Structure 1
Amino acid sequence: MDMTLLERPLFYLGGHYVTALGLIAFVALFAVGVVVARILQSDAVRRIFSRFKLDNNFIAIVTTILSLAALVFFTVSAVNAAGVPLYWNAPLPGITLSLLQIFLLIALLIGVFWVSSRTKRFLFTTLLARSGLDRALQHAIAQIVGYAVLIIGIVVVLDNAGIHLGALTVFAGAVGVGVGFGLKNIASNFISGLLILAERPITIGDRIEVAGITGQVKQIRARSTVIMTNDGIAMIVPNEKFIDSPVTNWTYSDPRVRFRVSVGVAYGSDVNKVRDALIAAAREHPATLSDPPPNAYLEKFGDSTIDFEVIAWSEKMSYKPRRFKSELNFLIEKHLREAGIEIPNPQRDLHIRDGVIKVKIVSERETREGSEA
């Protein structure tokens, strides 16, 4: 191949001529940058980071930043290879930071996020775990300290990079406008998360019901809370829902929960015998508490049944209410059957006060002929 042809200028850019050879080098380095960026976003790289027991969200942020950094690095290198110099140490137009300083700033900010994450983990799993404090309070303290480390670290890094807080007033004003318009919900959820950590209306492990979702609190994060339903589905609920909506916390002050099961028996049954059978059925379940003791009440006289309500308290089954009620129903049916007490089907009695009702018996053939007609 004729090297003179490859070295011939193709066009003029930024005061420099770009040759065919420079253009080929640019395309090759840029392609390499794209490949490296995709590799850094792959599952294999994320599995490597997960060995360090980092949070999945943090791993996603780090891999995204690293892929972008790799893409920028190879793009700058490609531009240099094309014959248009971009100096790493030279300040970029319009700002006082060079490309090298920007990369160093990004690396330090990633380090601050990592230190914040590790601080929260260390406090919650090691230091506070030995303090004897309530686990929910330990989680709240760890979260607040982690946020404090994050904010202080960001301020220190920006200050050492020459970006003083006084210079961020215009940016802060723009952020304020953004909060007023598009970021209102994000700010509201973040503040609600801080209120939840401070007031603790819910804690990890509580069984709650909010916004039509029932389940166990698994994680309280900055902007949302993770609730695991009985179906094994993780529901992500915005934190503001816990502030502006009614929240039912089944285990807020007392882990014991009262369960009610309705049952109807046939008229003519001995109600005292029924009551004893129902209480015996509730007592037989191993998760039923003896204090308060189970009980049964005659609620009303229905159309076809005498209606009772069984009351049973449980602590272990507060996270499995449907299963507990089902098992109680099995025990109730067993004890009523053994006691010879009937659970009747709905019945309707027809009373004729006067007059005569004519009854005509029609054969199957006449019925078929009538329908065909």
Structure 2
Amino acid sequence: METLRDMLEKTRGFLEIPILKLGGSPVTLWAIIQLVVLVALLFYLSGKLRTWTVEQFLNRTRMELGARQATGSIIRYTVIAIGFVVILQTAGIDLTALNVLAGAVGIGLGFGLQNIVNNFISGIIILFERPIKAGDRIVVGNVEGDVVRIGGRSTTVVTNDNITIIVPNSKFITENVVNWSHNERRVRFRIPVSVAYGSDVGLVERLLLEVAAGNPDVLEKPAPGVRLMEFGDSGLCFELRVWSTTLIHRRGLLTSVLNFAIYRTFAEHGVEIPYPRRDIHILGNRHNDQNVPLPKQELDNDQFP
């Protein structure tokens, strides 16, 4: 029993040995261990608080998911800032003595950690201004997908291939961002369609509107529309314009379904979809005195339409 007590006394004495001084206050090994444990506990509890705020407390309100997550993140950062100051004082560290250290850390952040600080500040701006929010369909650079989480340093985006892409928050501040659902989840799709010259344009318009009306993902209001855009080289260029709220995250699917239906409908009503045609004139060999025509197999070559 006395041996255990002696060991505890020696351990306590070792932990209370001053390692350095901040101002007039000595900093011991015990204070450092206490500081590390409390900071880790602070981050853990603040994360639990954010989760409870988003999924339990704010879930009872009418706030949308993006607003709840933004509020939860702001609460977490506030708790971390206040808790860190309280922990420093609890550990017996004089905050006034950290001015010089803060200046040195600031210089280090300016040179070595500027990207991390930039992304963190950008994350705070995103949470307050909310140009994007969880659940939005966005395009930034070569990344397109749904925003699932906005963190302090980066934003998590999931593509249609179920691939998770971590995008630095500064990308959303410094680059052009396409947000398909910023105002509302109602987006207009433009489907280009070409028909041969001589086609009944009234019939083409009616068939395109019927195809749009028969698709459950196309909205009735605003109503679909058909526009004759230009007289192309090979045919008349129409554009079917439809609105949808259900497939903005899978635009290729809606375009494909409408194109399949347009092709079948045109085939049933005899509307021709043109393809490029070229007239090729083959001249005789000027150096051939006998003016012998070219062999027939060359004229019937499959490469000529």
TM-score interval, normalised by the smaller of the two chains: 0.7 to 0.9
The answer for the alignment partner of 1:280 in structure 2 is 210
Structure 2 residue 127 is the aligned partner of structure 1 residue 201: no
Structure (1 or 2) with the greater helix fraction:
1
Change (3 A) 1:156 1:363: closer
1:261 pairs with 191, 196, 208, which one? 191
Q: 3-state DSSP class of the match of 1:141?
A: helix
Structural mapping, 1:66-77, within 5 Å? none
The answer for the alignment partner of 2:293 in structure 1 is 359
| CA distance, structure 1, for counterparts of residue 270 and residue 251 of structure 2 | 28
The answer for the alignment partner of 2:16 in structure 1 is 90
Question: Between Structure 1 and Structure 2, how many residues are aligned?
Answer: 281
Aligned residues of 1:278 and 1:336 also touching (Cα < 8 A): no
Q: Which amino acid aligns with 1:199?
A: E
Higher mean alpha-carbon deviation, 94-103 vs 308-317, is at 94-103
Q: 3-state DSSP class of the match of 1:232?
A: coil
CA drift at 1:134: 2.7
Aligned residues of 1:116 and 1:146 also touching (Cα < 8 A): yes
Structure 2 residue 267 is the aligned partner of structure 1 residue 337: yes
Q: What are structure 1's unaligned runs of at least 5 residues?
A: 1-79, 365-373
TM-score by length of 1: 0.70
| CA distance, structure 1, for counterparts of residue 58 and residue 253 of structure 2 | 35
Q: 3-state DSSP class of the match of 1:288?
A: coil
Q: 3-state DSSP class of the match of 1:286?
A: coil
Q: Which amino acid aligns with 1:175?
A: V
CA drift at 1:207: 0.6
Could you list the runs of 4 or more consecutive aligned residues of structure 1 that deviate by over 2 angstroms after TM superposition? 84-90, 92-105, 349-352, 356-359
The answer for the alignment partner of 1:347 in structure 2 is 277
Q: Which amino acid aligns with 1:195?
A: I
CA drift at 1:218: 0.9
Structure 2 residue 65 is the aligned partner of structure 1 residue 135: yes
1:80-112: CA deviation from partner (whole Å, max 9, x where unpaired): 9xxx99954331443534434432322211111
Q: What are structure 2's unaligned runs of at least 5 residues?
A: 1-6, 299-305
1:43-89: CA deviation from partner (whole Å, max 9, x where unpaired): xxxxxxxxxxxxxxxxxxxxxxxxxxxxxxxxxxxxx9xxx999543
Structural mapping, 1:162-311, within 5 Å? 162-311=92-241
1:312-346: CA deviation from partner (whole Å, max 9, x where unpaired): 11000001011111111111111111111111221
TM-score by length of 2: 0.85
Q: Which amino acid aligns with 1:334?
A: R
| CA distance, structure 1, for counterparts of residue 254 and residue 13 of structure 2 | 70
The answer for the alignment partner of 1:66 in structure 2 is none
Q: 3-state DSSP class of the match of 1:230?
A: coil
Which gives a bigger RCO, structure 1 or 2 (Cα 8 Å, sep 6+)?
A: 2
The answer for the alignment partner of 1:125 in structure 2 is 55
Aligned residues of 2:228 and 2:239 also touching (Cα < 8 A): yes
Aligned residues of 2:225 and 2:241 also touching (Cα < 8 A): yes
Aligned residues of 1:282 and 1:312 also touching (Cα < 8 A): yes
| CA distance, structure 2, for counterparts of residue 98 and residue 243 of structure 1 | 43
CA drift at 1:351: 7.1
1:237-263: CA deviation from partner (whole Å, max 9, x where unpaired): 111111111111111112101111111
1:168-197: CA deviation from partner (whole Å, max 9, x where unpaired): 111110111112211111111111111100
| CA distance, structure 2, for counterparts of residue 362 and residue 104 of structure 1 | 95
| CA distance, structure 1, for counterparts of residue 269 and residue 193 of structure 2 | 15
| CA distance, structure 2, for counterparts of residue 358 and residue 154 of structure 1 | 97
| CA distance, structure 1, for counterparts of residue 43 and residue 184 of structure 2 | 37
Q: 3-state DSSP class of the match of 1:318?
A: coil
Q: Which amino acid aligns with 2:295?
A: I
Q: Which amino acid aligns with 1:330?
A: F
Structure with the greater alpha carbon radius of gyration? 1
1:316 pairs with 246, 270, 274, which one? 246
The answer for the alignment partner of 1:19 in structure 2 is none
1:209-249: CA deviation from partner (whole Å, max 9, x where unpaired): 11221111111000111111122111111111111111111
| CA distance, structure 1, for counterparts of residue 65 and residue 297 of structure 2 | 77
| CA distance, structure 2, for counterparts of residue 99 and residue 162 of structure 1 | 12
| CA distance, structure 2, for counterparts of residue 131 and residue 249 of structure 1 | 25
Aligned residues of 1:282 and 1:332 also touching (Cα < 8 A): no
Aligned residues of 1:227 and 1:237 also touching (Cα < 8 A): yes
